[in-house]
Structure 1
């Protein structure tokens, strides 16, 4: 009998396990943050996947080795190391959890070393037909240190992208560089106005709540989306002349609609943006009213050209019923994307020649 893969909407399917990616510059203090997570009773039943145990001094926390690659910590956290393939590790964890060989963990944190781009991890997850049902990306947390953060951002375009894809930014070592922290914070806000900013004393549980909340309940979607912060930032045009060239390539902007959007149009818009500009689209988050069911908004969540299966909320989180999409792009003029959005919503028509200028592969847009 072949194993049936339940569609994400199937009520019998187990609730997806929230997964957070913790990334950041080398030496930024991820180890300290992870150790605080592992000691926090609020984060019991968490699996932390680390690339190499070598970097993390867990000795004083070790309780018992469950299997060769896994250790169980006092707080009920399980730590496992990835020596090979992350996907194999995630599959193995599910198998052991389903067979009762390890405690039924409630969330997963994946720590990536150094300047790794979190996107491939997320791609691997989302492309895997079974893992995409069992795990759900909760968010990306990027740790930046106040001492070396600005220099790292100047030197490494990957560091700039790590900041741009984050949902939450943690600035560590602020006490060691109080005078540099303000400039760094302003730079981080400009790079990613939608992310929430935290100091190193942040309660670890606050970093792991994403759009599902720590316990899987719906949470403050508006804060997760960050649309207002992006709009305010965009309109004030904080593109200073002295901005670093890596930073200048990154833009954050929002698309809105007061009118519910037909599902087919939203799907076509997302497909076209991804096929035309996939690699330049670093992050996409949205809350959209579908014409078919405007009372139950759909949450859209993507990293680069990968977009997660949409999640329907039972109701709007507040009185703001506008559809809002937040996009963070790299080397892409926001006007291209706004033009496509307007065309799909049937706003003032764009005729075919202009359409061709907006994308590399012009497609006819159905008439409104």
Structure 2
């Protein structure tokens, strides 16, 4: 009896998003000249949307072209899942050379949530690809007006793991305008670092799961400290903000959490408030195996199968969850979390009632 072949390491995947004219194509062109970007597949919606003509070398087939940096570029032919599966078939059958990572460039009007949904829902793609992060490009000249006028731009910024601020050098972007935009982005998504377009490719494409299979700094990935600091510093929410319906907050536990409690909490949150859950990510210590934390990740009604790490990536062994929600009070989620951890608060009747009777869903 022969041993079954080892499952290949998941391929890191980054989503590059941003509103129309924000500068995604310019950023991609710069990255394609970086050696750290070699052996990358870039997926775009249409070749005509990305100005890479000077980098084209040859056509691999009718749906794929080879770029000068040794990268491949292909189109989404109406179905992202089918495109990602097709890439794996070609790679496994040696029809294309192995690639080290995938970058998906969305259209400027795309809500990234459905893309995240597809990546963490599909049982085969979950095994073969690993989400490295969401990079959102924001135009410093038109950024605040775009956030005011387009809900898609708000969601693009809210779910980002990293924000790239472009066009800050233009005359129309004064220090006050750029500073106000930065503050708004930090209020919208405190966990995401805000960088300039010249950020190194290794930094831009880095994430919780490093390319060498080792974990990157969990603090950078979660940004839980930044979220908590923002929550404490902004106790009175500004109702005049255009994006006041979107909140970022964190949940913590100093002690380990039982697997059953974590699963019930995530399932109840998903089933009762999934439409309002833009993104959830976290690192949790389980009572059953406290030395090996699990990574949790969710988008709306879908929760990724938790991934167990071989060890803690740093000395902080607290369980930490970071949530980005829309039209959902953080206090409700906090009370629900406390109830499942066996520490129901006196002012948490809704959460306590919900754990006792899942059909009595408040706030919906």
2:20 aligned with 1:26:
yes
Q: 1:239 to 1:59 in 2, by over 3 A?
A: farther
Partners of 1:353 and 1:308 in 2: CA distance: 29
Q: CA deviation at 1:349?
A: 6.5
| Runs of 5+ unmatched residues, structure 1 | 1-9
Q: CA deviation at 1:122?
A: 2.0
Asked if 2 retains the 8 angstrom alpha-carbon contact of 1:263 and 1:292, the reply is yes
Taking only aligned residues, the RMSD between alpha carbons, in angstroms, comes to 2.2
2:82 aligned with 1:88:
yes
Q: 1:57 to 1:192 in 2, by over 3 A?
A: same
Q: CA deviation at 1:355?
A: 3.9
| Among candidates 216, 232, 236, match of residue 235 of structure 1 | 232
2:313 aligned with 1:301:
no
Q: CA deviation at 1:209?
A: 0.8
User: Normalization by structure 2: what TM-score?
Assistant: 0.92
Name 1:185's counterpart in structure 2: 182
Number of aligned residue pairs: 354
User: Normalization by structure 1: what TM-score?
Assistant: 0.91
2:171 aligned with 1:168:
no
| Among candidates 260, 277, 285, match of residue 289 of structure 1 | 285
Partners of 2:231 and 2:27 in 1: CA distance: 32
Partners of 1:175 and 1:21 in 2: CA distance: 25
Asked if 1 retains the 8 angstrom alpha-carbon contact of 2:121 and 2:304, the reply is no
| Among candidates 130, 136, 150, match of residue 130 of structure 2 | 136
Partners of 1:276 and 1:19 in 2: CA distance: 29
| Among candidates 91, 107, 115, match of residue 97 of structure 1 | 91
Q: CA deviation at 1:234?
A: 0.2
Partners of 2:271 and 2:343 in 1: CA distance: 22
Residues 315-339 of structure 1: CA deviation (Å, up to 9, x unaligned): 2222211111111111001111111
Partners of 2:237 and 2:254 in 1: CA distance: 32
| Runs of 5+ unmatched residues, structure 2 | none
| Among candidates 239, 243, 257, match of residue 253 of structure 2 | 257
